[in-house]
Copies of this chain bind each other. A is one copy, B any other.
Amino acid sequence: MMRRLLFASALLVTMQCSAQDIDSATVRSFYDYSLSNGQAYEWLRHLTESIGGRLSGSPQAAQAVSYTKEVLQTLGADTVYLQEVMVPHWVRNNREELTVFSNGKKIPLTICALGGSIATPEKGVRADVIEVKSFDELDALGEAGVKGKIVFFNGPMNQKYVNTFQAYGEAGKYRYSAAKNAAQYGAVATITRSLTLSMDDVPHTGAMGYNDTIKKIPCCAISTMDAEFLSAELKRNPATQAQLVLNCEMLPDVLSYNVVAEIRGSLFPDEVITVGGHLDSWDTGKGAHDDGAGCVQSMELIRMFHDLGIHPKRTVRVVLFMNEENGLRGGTKYAEFAKASSQKYLAAIESDEGGFAPRGFSFSGTAAQERKLRGFAPLFEPYGIYEWVTGGGGADISELGSLGTLMIGLSPDSQRYFDYHHTPIDTFDKVNRRELQLGAAAIASLAYLLANYGIE
């Protein structure tokens, strides 16, 4: 009996070793192929340099749908299809001007409208400027201090966080909610300091939201250097005024698409691992890190599974989501599709934190799911991936959470992300080929493990 037990346990060890060895070799093969033979970087070149910024509803967004669908059709997926989704269609148009008037000087600043802002009247809005660092300061000023003024939100991002997304998480509300919060006290417009840890002259756009019960007022962002200038000017001269001119507008919704490609699972085709990024981007730049990177990394998965002859036990589905930036309609549509489906959505991985060198994964799921996921960690250490952090995922996959899907986000090094985020300088040259391809390998490796072992 003892001998039989020993034999059985030796066999088990052998089988375990062997499975581990196979997994380790498979992960290695993804990295080797991605680094030496990857195509993600060249697809990103096309997406950014030939197509460009891809705001929902724009011709470029439509081109990106066609281009990525066509490429995916050549990569060996079992099926490639489009998923219809109506998206908002906000356009920036051609007038974005902020002029500061102080002590007889007239100083033009470079701005961008925040995404979703209404236009000003044609001649603009001119008013006194009042600076606040926080909503608490705004509330303290109240209607007496704010009414009829342009409110300047000048709260800097916190430099001390090592993970820059933590700083963004804290400061993001001064972009998203500035207009509605200031309007409730009668402000006529808002200016927000750009959300970046860099001191430069680049304004950052991004989504803002109105509240239907509060008057809509126009809003814009200025660069961190201009924010410092304006703040200093207000100290020198509290009577400083500004004039804002915007002619952006919201047009009727437009038909657009999520682009989907899948490799059917060999054993459990109705259990799905979703992998994706978002195809839309802000219009001022080229959407290289945000989020062309995540899209081409996801596409690379299809190419690598095919070329390396890897047949996952569960279905791996790549989704290039539309409209993450200003509506999340693509993610919502996909979640509706999932809820109506008889398939089981085990896990979803999103890459939407830039094409930088991967450092880990963040995730939100049940304790059991998270424990099983962490079990894969040793396979990633040879590739510099050490951080497995609870509490994460990605905007596009966030609505899958209610289905019990384990939501996972790729976490690249975050130091440079907000230098480029939502700006004219989010361009192809800011992406390093190897860093991008390392991310593609990390995603493919994790998707392979999830597809083969499942996650309960």
Q: Residues of A at under 8 Å CB distance from B?
A: 31-32, 35-36, 159-160, 162, 164, 197-198, 357, 359, 382-384, 386-387, 413, 415-416, 419, 432-435, 438
Contact = CB atoms under 8 A, between A and B. Distances in A.
Nearest to A418: B434
Given A387-B384, A434-B197, A160 B413 contact: no
A198 B433 contact: yes
25 contacts: A31-B160, A31-B162, A32-B160, A35-B159, A35-B162, A36-B159, A159-B434, A162-B382, A164-B434, A197-B434, A198-B433, A357-B413, A357-B415, A384-B387, A384-B413, A386-B386, A386-B387, A413-B413, A415-B432, A415-B434, A415-B435, A415-B438, A416-B432, A416-B435, A419-B432
A197 B38 CA distance: 13
Contacts of A384: 162, 359, 387, 413
A158 to B, nearest CB: 8
Contacts of A160: 31-32, 35-36
What 9 pairs between A and B have smallest CB-CB spacing? A386-B386, A36-B159, A415-B434, A35-B159, A415-B435, A32-B160, A357-B413, A357-B415, A416-B432
Contacts of A36: 159-160
Contacts of A359: 384
A194 to B, nearest CB: 16
A179 B427 CA distance: 40
Nearest to A158: B36
Contacts of A162: 31, 35, 382-384, 438
A160 B434 CA distance: 10
Contacts of A438: 162, 415
A411 to B, nearest CB: 10
